Amino acid sequence: MRLANLLVGQEGTRLIDFDDCGHGWFLYDFAASISFIEDDPRIPIFKAAWVRGYRSVRGLSAEDEAEIETFIMFRRMALLARIGSHIQAPEPQQTAPKFVSITAQIGKLYLKRHQKC
């Protein structure tokens, strides 16, 4: 769930856009929740809080926790593909240049951290 998917009106708050709901890899949930803000400097704080909250309910191995960055990168690439496939619409056109640039930066950092020497 993202704030952009909450519609607030006189009749109350409504939740929309359930395309990421369903059975899936649980670490993807964190990646989906930070969509479009993956470069925010607060992400490590959000991630630590999410991991702490998750571990209060069930176990999370260090190996699984280490894969959260992979799911963030995967989600970012999926969003990049979606922007590209909807580029005729005004919002993707406005978003694309900055989104592509930031995705490249995130990708370079991801690859640097995950290089096997």
69: helix, strand or coil: helix
Q: Can you give the residue ranges of every domain in the chain?
A: 3-113
Please give the model's pTM, rounded to 2 decimal places. 0.79
Give whole-number Cα distances, 58 to 35, 54, 83, 95, 113, in Å.
Answer: 24, 6, 35, 37, 27
pLDDT in tens, the chain (117 residues): 666 778 899 999 988 877 666 666 788 889 988 988 999 999 999 999 999 999 999 999 999 999 999 999 999 999 999 898 888 888 878 888 899 999 999 999 999 998 874
98: helix, strand or coil: helix
Q: Identity (one letter) of the amino acid at 12?
A: G
Residue 15 forms beta bridges with which residues? 6
